[in-house]
């Protein structure tokens, strides 16, 4: 994995060129797979209760301005997560490939 700095954000590149970024830094409607949860036991327990765990497919549905909550879709359920928690959820973002016609 390679690490790049983009402004204040750290962006990691996985071997297959997908981005590994925090949920907070994802764009609305962007999708990916949860790769790591960077918090303690209480953080993990809270996310487990929301059915958010490593390996789950997640889609960022909306975000509130000024560091407000982030709404995500996990297993066809919408869940609101605080901004601080969303910074600790690392997601491998799926890059959409565009087919060119010749």
> Cβ–Cβ contacts within 10 Å for residue 20, how many?
20
Q: Is the predicted pLDDT of residue 9 greater than 90, yes or no?
A: no
pLDDT band at residue 7 using 50, 70 and 90 as cut-offs: very low
- What pTM was computed for the model? 0.76
Which class is domain 2-93?
A: mainly beta
In whole angstroms, what is the distance from residue 70 CA to residue 64 CA?
6
* Digit-coded pLDDT (tens) for 54-87: 999 999 999 998 889 999 999 999 999 999 999 9
Q: Which two tokens stand for residue 19?
A: 């981005």
Note the pLDDT of residue 18: 75
Mean pLDDT of the chain: 83
Residue 48 in this model has a pLDDT that exceeds 90: yes
**Cβ–Cβ under 8 Å, residues 8 and 84:** no
Residue 101, pLDDT score: 52
Domain spans, the chain: 2-93
């Amino acid at each position: 994995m390679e690490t790049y700095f983009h402004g204040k954000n750290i962006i990691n590149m996985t071997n297959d060129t997908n981005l590994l970024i925090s949920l907070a830094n994802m764009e609305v409607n962007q999708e990916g797979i949860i790769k790591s949860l960077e918090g303690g036991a209480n953080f993990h327990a809270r996310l487990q209760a929301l059915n958010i765990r490593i390996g789950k497919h997640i889609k960022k549905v909306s975000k509130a301005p000024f560091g407000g909550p982030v709404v995500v879709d996990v297993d066809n359920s919408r869940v609101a997560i605080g901004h601080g928690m969303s910074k600790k959820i690392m997601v491998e973002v799926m890059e959409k490939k565009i087919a060119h016609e010749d």
